[in-house]
A and B are shown apart, each in its own frame.
Chain A
């Protein structure tokens, strides 16, 4: 599969150099971009995303439609916190309305800091909205489920 869910390896090292700030206030701006495999992509180019992804790419990104624009839309940061011995952070759910979109996965990247990739999300199969709403719902903000966790 060309899109594989992963926390980007480059992100792991960048955490150690304070490259990313997920704070709700004063933090970096993180964007979520949607990708398709095959003909659903902007130029029928299959996106290849996974642990080795280091930076945002337009290759295989879905076309603008409705409120979705190429490059992705900014996420709303929720302050990082801890649960037990795990640190984690979260984002508010994101919806793209009046959109005709077919996407297989997504990338979260740091729009403030050189478009550096954070993680790749795999939807498992193509998800499609036709003149409708395409919503990404993030997992519960808990130590065992949150979208980004460091244990």
Chain B
């Protein structure tokens, strides 16, 4: 007799929603950090704590560079609007 035991399962997802706009940079950074680094609850405490600390640092770094990306993209959008003759719109966008 030859038996092979196997099981198939589906993971748990999270849903994040926002109203009248998109997610905040912090929320997106959290999503990115969760994708980059997974810390198992049953990991040895010293390793788990160190990993969590690193993840927090990682998230702060992601927030900083995402802010930079948003600002740079907005600057590019403003320049394109201004070059197309929409200076008022460009100024409004810049002041957001």
Contacts and interface: CB of A to CB of B under 8 A. Distances in A.
Interface stretch (A39-47, A57-65, A123-131): A123-131
Nearest to B5: A151
A7 B16 CA distance: 22
Interface string A120-151: 11010001111111111111111011111111
Contacts of A129: 17-19
Contacts of B14: 136-137, 139
A119 B15 CA distance: 16
Could you tell me the dominant secondary structure of chain A's interface residues? Answer: strand
Contact of B11 (A127, A131, A145): A145
Contacts of A144: 40
Contacts of B6: 150-151
Contact of A131 (B12, B15, B20, B23): B20
A132 B19 contact: yes
B67 interface: no
Given A93-B35, A133-B23, A137-B31, A123 B8 contact: no
5 contacts: A7-B9, A132-B17, A134-B17, A135-B16, A141-B38
A-B interface, 10 closest residue pairs, ranked by CB to CB distance from nearest:
A140-B38, A132-B18, A139-B11, A129-B17, A130-B19, A147-B11, A127-B15, A135-B16, A137-B14, A119-B10
Interface of B: 6-23, 31, 34-35, 38, 40
